[in-house]
């Protein structure tokens, strides 16, 4: 019988390290088969130097796609790796599963738009998934939410095929793509441009912006957000993730939040509820250019060709580079 790993400690990584020693084995693990323990948690008990060696070996062997840790090796990460437990899961679309994780570690925090390194017991490959919930949900309920697209990548396969309620993982925050205004900062408008699962970090930013507006409206203090316009493109309406959440925010704050939902390969009839917000066809340069102003920040996340296109068009429209933020994931 394989003993269960206890994820009760938090762990730290030196800033130069690309991976973490994520678990300290508790005395209870000494009972039972040593081989079974090593099979289930070998990665998590290695030293940082051994982990780096294995990471580099795996990267050299990978020919089809770059590893998450390789792609983000130069990106700033937090030092803490925190245990987390799956407490909710749902099919967000035919190809995307959403997860809700409980993270009780008080030192765990994130900024809207950031991602996590996702450590899974028994899976040697580390996942990288954007957080799609607001920091406020973590503050109030110690929860974060992810949305993971089905793929042959081992962490994504685990989420879709093996993850169950109460599954235990570990997470570490990273990323330089975020919106984290301070109360005294100048008010800014936001234009969010998303393609496919690139909606995840932008939904976190959208939800955070709504939380900031609620706080300012209720207390008369805090950061004063400007207007927010979301442009979101997917193949069809079934692949438009979180559409109900998005429309709820649009309806709650009609003077602040607006959205334009695009579908590129729609073959079925569009529902009456969605139709006012749907455009058939890709997001156009003109739609984005109409929102250019010196008070506007642009956040882009989607397939690299889409990200490259809009970031270049914005630069050509004389938007300062520091007002153009983008994240590439594949």
**Looking at 47-56, 231-240, 271-280, 309-318, which range is the least confident one?**
47-56
Please state the rounded mean pLDDT for residues 148-165: 97
Question: Nearest-CA neighbor of 115 among 2, 228, 203, 40?
Answer: 203
| Residues 95, 97, 98, 99, Cα dihedral to 10° | -160
Please state the rounded mean pLDDT for residues 165-180: 97
Q: What pLDDT shows up at residue 134?
A: 98
Question: Per-residue confidence at 329, pLDDT binned at 50, 70, 90?
Answer: low
Query: Which tokens sit at 229?
Result: 């316009």
Question: Nearest-CA neighbor of 113 among 201, 245, 218?
Answer: 201
Q: Give pTM, 2 decimals.
A: 0.82
> What share of the chain has pLDDT > 90, as a percent?
78
32 vs 51 pLDDT, higher one: 51
66 vs 30 pLDDT, higher one: 66
Question: Nearest-CA neighbor of 185 among 225, 129, 142, 217?
Answer: 225
Q: What pLDDT shows up at residue 55?
A: 42
Q: What pLDDT shows up at residue 67?
A: 87
**Looking at 7-16, 125-134, 260-269, which range is the least confident one?**
7-16
Q: How far apart are CA 320 and CA 113, in angstroms?
A: 20
Strands of the chain, DSSP E = 11-12, 80-93, 96-102, 115-120, 123-130, 143-149, 168-174, 189-195, 228-234, 257-263, 278-280, 296-301, 324-327
Evaluate if residue 20 carries a pLDDT over 60: no
Question: Per-residue confidence at 330, pLDDT binned at 50, 70, 90?
Answer: low
Q: What pLDDT shows up at residue 6?
A: 36
Q: What pLDDT shows up at residue 61?
A: 42
How high does pLDDT run on average in the chain? Answer: 84
Please state the rounded mean pLDDT for residues 322-326: 97
Please state the rounded mean pLDDT for residues 24-48: 32
Helices 243-252 and 199-219: crossing angle in degrees, nearest 10, is 30
Alpha-carbon separation of residue 315 from 193, 202, 311, 318 (angstroms): 15, 20, 6, 5
25 vs 267 pLDDT, higher one: 267
Alpha-carbon separation of residue 93 from 29, 86, 194, 245, 278 (angstroms): 39, 19, 16, 14, 17
Q: How far apart are CA 278 and CA 192, in angstroms?
A: 16
Question: Per-residue confidence at 328, pLDDT binned at 50, 70, 90?
Answer: confident
Q: What pLDDT shows up at residue 76?
A: 94
Integer-rounded Cα radius of gyration of the chain: 21
Length of the chain: 330
């Amino acid at each position: 019988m394989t003993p269960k790993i206890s994820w009760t400690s938090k762990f730290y990584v030196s800033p130069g390290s690309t991976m973490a020693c994520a678990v300290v084995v508790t005395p209870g693990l000494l009972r039972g088969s040593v081989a079974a323990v090593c099979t289930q948690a070998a990665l998590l008990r290695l030293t940082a130097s051994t982990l780096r060696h294995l990471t580099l070996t795996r990267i050299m062997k990978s020919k089809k796609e770059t590893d998450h840790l390789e792609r983000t090796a130069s990106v700033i990460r937090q030092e803490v790796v925190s245990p987390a437990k799956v407490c909710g899961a749902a099919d967000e679309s035919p190809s995307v599963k959403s997860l809700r994780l409980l993270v009780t570690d008080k030192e765990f925090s994130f900024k809207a738009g950031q991602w996590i390194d996702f450590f899974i017991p028994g899976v040697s490959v580390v996942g990288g998934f954007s957080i799609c919930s607001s920091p406020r949900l973590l503050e109030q309920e110690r929860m974060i939410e992810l949305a993971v697209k089905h793929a042959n990548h081992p962490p994504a396969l685990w989420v879709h095929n093996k993850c169950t309620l109460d599954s235990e993982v570990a997470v570490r925050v990273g990323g330089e793509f975020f919106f984290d205004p301070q109360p005294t900062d100048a008010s800014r408008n936001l234009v969010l441009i998303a393609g496919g699962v690139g909606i995840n970090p932008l939904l976190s930013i959208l939800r955070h912006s709504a939380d900031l507006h609620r706080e300012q409206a209720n207390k008369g203090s805090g950061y004063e957000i400007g207007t927010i316009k979301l442009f979101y493109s997917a193949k069809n309406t079934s692949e438009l993730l979180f559409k109900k959440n998005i429309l709820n925010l649009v309806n709650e704050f009609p003077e602040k939040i607006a959205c334009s939902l695009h579908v590129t390969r729609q073959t079925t009839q569009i529902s009456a509820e969605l139709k006012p917000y749907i455009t058939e066809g890709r997001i156009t340069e003109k739609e984005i250019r109409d929102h250019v102003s010196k008070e506007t920040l642009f956040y882009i996340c989607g397939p690299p060709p889409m990200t490259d296109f809009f970031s270049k068009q914005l630069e050509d429209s004389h938007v300062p580079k520091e007002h153009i933020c983008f994240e590439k994931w594949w």
